[in-house]
Amino acid sequence: MTCFIHVTSRLLVWFNFRLLLNESFTELRSLKMRRSSRLATARETDDTVELEAVLENPDAEVSLTFPEGGREAWICLTGSFLMMFPSFGFQTAVGSVQDYISTHQLAEYGDRDVGWITAVLVFLTLFLGVQFGPLFDRYGPRVLLVCGCLGNFLCYILLAECSKYWHFMLCLGVLGGISSAVITTVSIAVLSHWFNRRRALASGICMGGSSAGGAIIPLMLRTLFQQYGWIWAMRVIAFMALGCYAVGIFLVRGRLPAGTKSRTTIDFAAFKSPRLCFLALAVFSFEFIIFGCAALLPSYVRYSGFPLNAQFYSLTVLNSMSLIGRVLPGFAADQVGRFNILLILVVITMIILAGVWLPYGSHDEVTLYVVVAIFGFGSGGWLSLAPVCAGQLCDTKDYGRFYGTVYSVASFGVLLTVPIGGQLLQSTTPQVLIGFYSVVLLVGLISVSLSRWAILDWKWKWKVKV
């Protein structure tokens, strides 16, 4: 009887404690925003995240307070940077590879046909995030990264031996796309375990790894192609990647416990939210332009009549400024608002693309480098802030799934951009391609504006952190 009374009293205490938490949580939410926008605001405060975690799983041993820094967090971020350098970095420099094989091994094919190889590469990288995002939520980063890194290393080794169209499609397009999907999805999603308030900065530094790779790899390939040829150029890239992966695997680790339930790979319910739908359309537009430029910039330079070195240097300028663009806006985004900074960057880039690059970009080499540099800075900010904006619309435990869902939509943009752009280059003039990309970016600008408007309950406000 005494035991029963004791247990009953403990249950009553716990029940009262849950009621107290529920009341506190309600008060916090009512102070932030009206009913329709409470959820988005609640996720921005550490206290609310803690209360949500306790209400959902009061027995959890791992608190959802975020370190926002510290030794282990920065070590994990360093590992993510190293992972992105040879994987996503190679993709941002893939224009050098595409231009080379289109004039050597696959010279009998047009730019549109060769473009399908790189299109499949980037498409699978983004689309398969739908699958690997939930797998990361359930199993954590280590096993997935080992498999992805081995596959990516094998891709580069086999790429050295490719000589036919189907060789390149299977090796670079399929194997490269699948392995890169694992690496990039896990490297970005794991940051949500360590950062919340400073997640935009962390994402920018992580994505800076791909910009660094995109700036250095073209210069490496330029020298390697000239001195050693295709085979050894790819082998050098392969072993450089292996070194980065060997270190990165030991640095990247998750902090939250792995999930125990099977999760859906695509959250169709998420598309009921207008803010997510518009954000997905905006990301579609961004990825369409970014990877179209990364893959076709060397070909654009060649069709515009610039010298051979400009094909490699333009990519280096693009990705060097993209590195800065992926890091610096993260500082401002954590203070001013992620959607706010993203919108500002899109507006600036739209002005440069339509107002400078379109009428003057093919006139002289200096103008080309200037517009490419500014475009690189702006597009770098899109790449780093868009995933963080997607994470702002969901719970931390669902970040991998939401990230995969948004980028599954964007993946169809990168599947189409290179073949369409290659056809425009072949059949029209280089400036027609820039005009086409200006229209696509306008769609992205309108979409991200509508997403921000939806977050504010369809009441536009300028001076509010979003």
Q: Where are the domains of the chain?
A: 71-455
Measured CA to CA, the distance from residue 393 to residue 270 in angstroms comes to 9
234: its two tokens: 């790819």
> How confident is residue 256, by pLDDT bands cut at 50, 70 and 90?
low
Instruction: From 422, 305, 289, 423, select the one nearest 362 (Cα to Cα).
Output: 305
Measured CA to CA, the distance from residue 331 to residue 195 in angstroms comes to 13
Q: Tokens 């103008």 belong to which residue?
A: 367
> How confident is residue 266, by pLDDT bands cut at 50, 70 and 90?
low
pLDDT tens figures, 353-390:
998 898 887 788 888 999 999 999 998 888 778 878 88
Top-ranked range on mean pLDDT: pick from 38-47, 81-90, 272-281, 400-409: 81-90
Measured CA to CA, the distance from residue 388 to residue 385 in angstroms comes to 5
* pLDDT of 9 higher than 90: no
Angle at 368 between CA 86 and CA 421, to 5 degrees: 65
pTM: 0.74
pLDDT tens figures, 142-182:
889 999 999 999 999 999 999 999 999 999 999 999 999 99
CA distances from 449 to 43, 175, 305, 357 (A): 21, 37, 38, 23
For the segment(s) 71-455, the CATH number from 1.20.1250.20, 3.40.50.11890, 2.60.40.10, 1.25.40.20 is 1.20.1250.20
Q: Which of the two residues, 133 and 418, has the higher pLDDT score?
A: 418
CA distances from 15 to 9, 18, 461 (A): 10, 5, 41
* pLDDT of 239 higher than 50: yes
Q: Which residues contact 147 (CB under 8 A, 6 or more apart)?
A: 179, 182
Measured CA to CA, the distance from residue 326 to residue 2 in angstroms comes to 63
What percent of the chain clears pLDDT 70, i.e. is strictly above it?
80
Neighbour tally for 105: CB within 10 Å: 17
How confident is the model at residue 33, as a pLDDT? Answer: 39
pLDDT tens figures, 30-72:
333 343 344 333 333 343 343 344 334 434 444 457 677 778 8
H helices present in 107-175, as ranges: 111-127, 129-139, 142-159, 165-168
Neighbour tally for 399: CB within 10 Å: 26
Q: Is 267 left (phi over 0), alpha (psi -120 to 50) or beta?
A: beta
Angle at 154 between CA 148 and CA 158, to 5 degrees: 145
Task: Give residue 281's identity as a one-letter amino acid code.
Answer: L
Instruction: From 254, 200, 261, select the one nearest 56 (Cα to Cα).
Output: 261
How confident is the model at residue 66, as a pLDDT? Answer: 66
Q: Which residues contact 216 (CB under 8 A, 6 or more apart)?
A: 89, 316
State the DSSP code for 266.
S
Going 125 to 117 to 418 to 323, the CA torsion angle's sign is positive
What phi, psi does 26 have (nearest 5°)? -65, -40
Could you tell me if 412 and 281 are in contact, meaning their C-beta atoms sit under 8 angstroms apart?
no
Q: Which residues contact 230 (CB under 8 A, 6 or more apart)?
A: 100, 104, 105, 160
Give the side-chain half-sphere CA count within 13 A for 126.
Answer: 25
Mean pLDDT for 431-454 is 93
Instruction: From 118, 90, 447, select the one nearest 284 (Cα to Cα).
Output: 447
Give the side-chain half-sphere CA count within 13 A for 183.
Answer: 39
Q: Which residues contact 331 (CB under 8 A, 6 or more apart)?
A: 201
Q: Which of the two residues, 110 and 434, has the higher pLDDT score?
A: 434
- Point out the least confidently predicted range of 107-111, 184-188, 402-406: 402-406
CA distances from 413 to 110, 125, 437 (A): 21, 12, 12
Mean pLDDT for 100-118 is 90
Angle at 340 between CA 275 and CA 204, to 5 degrees: 95
* pLDDT of 325 higher than 90: no
Instruction: From 232, 254, 122, select the one nearest 187 (Cα to Cα).
Output: 254
Measured CA to CA, the distance from residue 291 to residue 95 in angstroms comes to 9
SS3 421: helix
pLDDT tens figures, 392-434:
877 766 766 676 678 778 888 888 898 999 899 888 888 999 9
Q: Which of the two residues, 9 and 135, has the higher pLDDT score?
A: 135
Task: Give residue 356's identity as a one-letter amino acid code.
Answer: V
> How confident is residue 349, by pLDDT bands cut at 50, 70 and 90?
very high
Mean pLDDT for 8-37 is 37
Q: Which of the two residues, 129 and 317, has the higher pLDDT score?
A: 317
49: its two tokens: 């995240």
How confident is the model at residue 174, as a pLDDT? Answer: 96
Instruction: From 218, 201, 413, select the one nearest 301 (Cα to Cα).
Output: 218
Q: Is 68 left (phi over 0), alpha (psi -120 to 50) or beta?
A: left
What's the chain's average pLDDT?
80
How confident is the model at residue 34, as a pLDDT? Answer: 40
How confident is the model at residue 31, as a pLDDT? Answer: 36
